Structure 1
């Protein structure tokens, strides 16, 4: 029995093992490889990378891949090698890498693969570091990235339909693939690079794609046409394998799992999908999952051959690249920090989970090929535990005999499990992979390991090394012992060593007598107190604007050439007799001033917003500055600006000329309502047919455009106008816009005996017209930030008026680690630039919900000179101002 491709060799340190072996002769997929030694005259065809029902094969050997997400576009180029080496040192053998289309095509036809966009250099570094790469070029990637990487200008073509088998969209995708796929094909393993798989699309099963087979087939054909020969995969986001792949030949289905780490049912779900993909003759590839290694062990024991937790190595959303709206309320902003608690922080510091990664990697290396080829089975007897554990006991049966049994401890207190009639200790929060009935001949040990209640992390002639933080029960050929942590005993002629997990993570070698040698524990970083910045330079000049013409109605920012950045809208209009305005379709952040009065920012993702203007009669100026935080990366129908491909800008501003309550006089269709139809208030019909749909109809009239406001919407309902296709109305935006005229409106909702308590109001509208526009895209703002100009020194605190903007230059002392900049401020939005690039944005005070990492800091990478801030006062409960800037050295 082969002990495995990555067997731990006591004569070499673990840090010296090659996780990405190079073949003796450069070898392309399907080429001839000549073996040496006794087989020198024999040739055979070996696919360098392939998958089958048993697993993933590289150079003819089976591999279990631990894969960490690591994104070049979320890190300074200067840190790429360090981060890759950090992943390599964790024991992971692979990284998965998104390639964002709109990061490389910043405007139509303007491509860049230089500097931080030099993905070829990143892949070459991964190859040098000894890591495999799973490349994920989309075209859609999600990743909480601006638009999911789909360029913003795609939305300007009203006939183009994203993520569909549609000619206009596929023409754009072809232009992207023509740029990126040759780059990947050139760096396929093993000839010139590390790429072992290429993922097409991303979680397509979340999206309403009309022709999945046609769409995925077109992407597959493009990849093959550009010479991609490594396996093509497509991941499902919610377990719909056909929805993700279209069941297209040549595209391997993969799964993304994001379970509750404490769920007892993870194994049952994963085993189901392992069975489904096995029917297709492919292994279970988990392309995204949680970061906790207890969960990863459970996935391994359930049959996964690729395990890729997202996001192990954290990063940053620089500039205007975050998305909006992926996180369920619906709608929120992604923060500058991009960190979901993986084993490496955004600043590169190791978390405790990093050591867990090293231990699991040693387990995989020690068992090697026999673990990789092991088949998932149900344990013969489910261990009896006095702690919460999984509902189904998962085990891996070795091809040469024996098995590994996973025993997850889902509780917080020390516990005991009965495994094979033997009581064993199990540490809380752990999931030891317990060996049972395993012959040890592969390591020159002529006994059978009847039971070991901990992870085997090294084995050599006459020595077994286990990792555990509780005493380990070992049974060798019927001889049983309980070995304390940090002790070693001789049992059946075998030296058994138990290392605490912290030392096992740092294991380098083991002597013949069982003495373990470990690397020194890393020193904790020296803590330093934050440094206060008390003085800044305030510029006299404001950033320039590019005039963008006059428009009857407010245009989208994208139509003005602003794909990232912001724009200004100005007009003068007569508000005599107008008590309120209605703003529809605005995104992302609207700073509105009416007649000199600044309103709190509007950041409601296109939901209609009523604005009180009773105190500003007559002819007044209206000004709006609209900032793009990011385009939606997830198709969410509940708000207009969260639809995939939705544009940004002011939307439409309306004068409300009149309001009328139209809650009464709705006729009822459905249930047992007869003819003529009864007349009821909206939602007022009563029947015993609970939850069945009932339709209310009414005629409404307005000589001008109007808006129907449905107060009290809780559950989604359907509204049809004049017999047309119904649209869904949600509680987040319970409005229906109507053109001028007479309309028959039908509202269909699920019946509730108590009534939904709906009220309908009709607003007659007049559009505000004649807008003068100006553009400030991200490049213009970055150029201005990089310039030096006349300024005055000012001491903090700095007070701002609502709506006031000021540019501040901040001197930063040199620091090899860079700085985290924290604001002690209220009601301020701040954008920062350094090294010629926008680093990120922070919003203090009243603000929308944020997700991702720390929303309250800016990170200035080392070597990025200068810091320039654009500070904007925001209307809210407190007065806008910056009291202090705090500089922290990241740890």
Structure 2
């Protein structure tokens, strides 16, 4: 660690300390690769206006190494320029260069061609993989090191890897240790962190020295158990003399407040600044039942929408930022604890509330309302309640203190009230003690107190400075000095936007000017206004005399993967003669396959590589166009194309030359089944036992011919099964109930499934022969972009326009100027939209074959103002489904960016 960096940035119990400044910090995710370069300044300014002073920035490896050894750090890939802009607006950066980032990004940023290298194992302490990682780190780490805080830049931490505890890494210490060594070799002097995706700190870091564990925490916003779980993480990190860094979490500031009062020192909601995936960069998989396509619109409801317009949470961000800034080091040094009995409410709230014992005196209590309805909260009298009972009302408000010393105030829906007690005010240049406030303290100084609230709030001030000592019997009990007549209290009315509530409280010669702001009036709102204009309806287009592919093919014996042809993004076209064949078995076909038998277009396949039977009797020729939506960003074993490192294309194509039912004549064996000797023969999964749920093994030899490939299909699975073939165990799932057997395999097959009374499985053995002789045309992204930029003329047509299944054509559509949100009407079509040399995005309209989409709005295409030349080029593919394909009108809505 360099001396300048070490003195400028440190991690300790109080959090991420910059230039000696201790603060609980809020961090927004903001990704340069999801925002046009022309929009970087406005997006950074909108984040800075929220009061957040950190941004976390993923740096995707495959965004910069766009082909093996072909690097690009120019234009909107100029990450150095982005980091410099962040520094210029006063933001600090947590840089996250991976090598794996997840982020619902194509392959989690791991280049697709890595899977082509035999023996290479992703995210492992393995020489071939690490050699590629080293080449990436050699490019990116010097760029980050040169821009560290303390060296005149923005970078204050570097994250290594991402949620490694989700992945079966065989040698975590060796792998993370190697990444650490590469970072140190390149002069990284800021703290190195590694985040746990499911709370396994050791699983994320390997317990490697010099790598700080952090937590990604995604609770249900309505969960009553957030506080105790976060306190546990805070305790685990405190034992290491480290702060709790929550490097990813939910967006709602009600939830973020709960994290703060439970001990988090850095809170980084993912994704406050939404974005948009241009090009062929969304991933597949993500979450689901199973699978899904990530939409180009990358949005999880953050305080900035994908085009940069602020949402209501932007105001909540400014309020919480102001609270953290006002309480400063006292809050950063605070210790969390459970607060049983601290309040009562008439709505659902935390099962175990948290409070922070502030350094220098006072406490901050969190009161969540987990419902969408207004409620009330009653705070009991403080430990020394006699003084509270003697407090008079101020001249400008009624006393909020009841006879028993309790205080009752409204509790807004979906909120977390931060109740501040017994805060000494001398450090702000004010007299006495802030005994209690249920409004947010967003500012304090010699001129008075600035509060913020949505509803009515209570304020109690004491002219006497608190003398506080820790009761040895109970950590949470603080003794307060009380002087009758020295306190003033007020019930403060709810402010309206633009109309603050002002009052002055006085007691025993002390005076406190007070202003209460509506949250919308705290800080400076983002200058970007939300969208709202009526859309322009476009009813004409020009159908271009321009081919959608060259038609130039090369011959291959077996169909290669797209990646083997250099198609890491884009699509691949396959053709083969199939005359005389009756049925094909497709394995690993992904992501979207459009099949045509002779001139008959079939429904699209988008099944994440699941094995598929295709009847082809009577057809002479198979043509297939296979488009890559994206590579899996998560490692999901349930379907082939959801595995990390899985390849794209048509996969393996077999002719089915025979079928045999093998559901019967299975020996029942294995522990817990009580079979006799010799073992009984039963149908597969047909053994009866009282031991429901106990694994039962069924064994037999299969009638393979020793020369052909075969496929075993298990129908009726409702979960995973272990299938051992000649002693080698494979996982078969309900989503992919197939297992391929090479020639000579299958003499001993053992199927192990949990016993379900009354259950039975059907097993079928298919004999296979590979389909040979393929004509293949690769069409990578740069070839498609070149076609999209080709000058062409055509015929003017009116929309809506009927198309035939299998039709594919280019259309030019004139649109209004400025930034636009484009929505297409129609059915049974897929549309890729191009402008300014970029793929803007892809939509798939009303098709039974369409998979589930996750993320943001899958029907929207964003045309940034800087890229709008007055026209958008569409490549339209008509699909077969329940209705005839139709390209409908285009609705263009102006957006402010």
What TM-score do the two structures reach when normalised by structure 1?
A: 0.91
Deviation of 1:775 after TM superposition, in Å, equals: 0.8
Q: Does 1:171 align with 2:131?
A: yes
Distance 1:127 1:787, change over 3 A: same
SS of 1:155's equivalent in the other structure is helix
Question: 2:827–2:885: 8 Å Cα contact kept in structure 1?
Answer: yes
Q: Deviations over 1:798-833 (max 9, x none)?
A: 222111100111222322xx1111111110000011
Question: 1:488–1:495: 8 Å Cα contact kept in structure 2?
Answer: no
Q: Does 1:709 align with 2:713?
A: yes
SS of 1:863's equivalent in the other structure is helix
Look up the match of 2:658. 658
SS of 2:826's equivalent in the other structure is strand
Look up the match of 2:697. 695
Look up the match of 2:578. 573
Question: 2:586–2:652: 8 Å Cα contact kept in structure 1?
Answer: yes
- 1:499-648 alignment runs, 5 A limit: 499-506=516-523, 527-545=532-550, 547=552, 549-576=554-581, 578=582, 580-614=583-617, 616=618, 620-648=620-648
Look up the match of 1:460. 445
Look up the match of 1:450. 435
Look up the match of 1:881. 886
Distance 1:795 1:56 in 2: 59
Look up the match of 2:502. 488
Look up the match of 1:205. 165
Q: Deviations over 1:311-330 (max 9, x none)?
A: 00111011100000011211
Deviation of 1:523 after TM superposition, in Å, equals: 9.6
Look up the match of 2:397. none
Please tell me the root mean square deviation across aligned C-alpha atoms, in Å.
1.7
Distance 1:93 1:524 in 2: 22
Which range is displaced more, 460-469 or 255-264?
Answer: 460-469
SS of 2:775's equivalent in the other structure is strand
- 1:239-638 alignment runs, 5 A limit: 239-379=199-339, 381-421=341-381, 422-425=406-409, 426-461=411-446, 463-477=448-462, 478-486=487-495, 487-491=501-505, 492=507, 493-495=510-512, 497=514, 499-506=516-523, 527-545=532-550, 547=552, 549-576=554-581, 578=582, 580-614=583-617, 616=618, 620-638=620-638
Question: 1:139–1:149: 8 Å Cα contact kept in structure 2?
Answer: yes
Deviation of 1:504 after TM superposition, in Å, equals: 4.0
Look up the match of 2:755. 751
Distance 2:513 2:712 in 1: 76
Question: 1:472–1:498: 8 Å Cα contact kept in structure 2?
Answer: no
Question: 1:457–1:504: 8 Å Cα contact kept in structure 2?
Answer: no
Look up the match of 1:3. none
Which range is displaced more, 136-145 or 489-498?
Answer: 489-498
Look up the match of 2:33. 73
Distance 2:327 2:523 in 1: 18
Distance 2:161 2:88 in 1: 27
Distance 1:420 1:450 in 2: 13
SS of 2:758's equivalent in the other structure is coil
SS of 1:664's equivalent in the other structure is coil
Deviation of 1:125 after TM superposition, in Å, equals: 0.1
Distance 2:550 2:135 in 1: 31
Distance 1:59 1:826, change over 3 A: same
- 1:714-729 alignment runs, 5 A limit: 714-724=718-728, 726-729=729-732
Question: 1:99–1:137: 8 Å Cα contact kept in structure 2?
Answer: yes
Q: Deviations over 1:634-669 (max 9, x none)?
A: 000111111111100101122222222211111011
Look up the match of 1:849. 852
Distance 1:399 1:500 in 2: 27
Look up the match of 1:35. none
Distance 2:580 2:246 in 1: 59
Corresponding residue to 1:870 among 872, 875, 890? 875
Distance 1:75 1:247, change over 3 A: same
SS of 2:779's equivalent in the other structure is strand
Deviation of 1:498 after TM superposition, in Å, equals: 5.2
SS of 1:550's equivalent in the other structure is strand
Q: Deviations over 1:81-113 (max 9, x none)?
A: 110010000100010000000000000000010
Distance 1:383 1:307 in 2: 25
Look up the match of 1:679. 681
Distance 1:503 1:547, change over 3 A: closer
Question: 1:548–1:560: 8 Å Cα contact kept in structure 2?
Answer: no
Look up the match of 1:763. 766
Distance 2:20 2:372 in 1: 43
Q: Deviations over 1:236-278 (max 9, x none)?
A: 0000111110100000000000000000000010000111111
SS of 1:362's equivalent in the other structure is helix
Question: 2:453–2:519: 8 Å Cα contact kept in structure 1?
Answer: no
SS of 2:87's equivalent in the other structure is helix
Distance 1:359 1:483 in 2: 18
Deviation of 1:465 after TM superposition, in Å, equals: 2.0
Deviation of 1:153 after TM superposition, in Å, equals: 0.3
Structure 1 gaps of 5+ residues are: 1-27, 33-45, 508-518
Question: 1:29–1:48: 8 Å Cα contact kept in structure 2?
Answer: no
Which range is displaced more, 666-675 or 289-298?
Answer: 666-675
Distance 2:360 2:155 in 1: 32
Structure 2 gaps of 5+ residues are: 382-405, 463-486, 496-500
Distance 2:531 2:434 in 1: 45
Distance 2:340 2:719 in 1: 47
Which range is displaced more, 492-501 or 217-226?
Answer: 492-501
Distance 2:613 2:528 in 1: 57
Distance 2:284 2:644 in 1: 11
Look up the match of 2:836. 835
SS of 2:175's equivalent in the other structure is helix
Deviation of 1:874 after TM superposition, in Å, equals: 0.7
Q: Does 1:120 align with 2:122?
A: no
Distance 2:616 2:301 in 1: 46
Corresponding residue to 2:783 among 751, 768, 780? 780
Look up the match of 2:864. 861
Deviation of 1:415 after TM superposition, in Å, equals: 2.1
SS of 1:171's equivalent in the other structure is helix
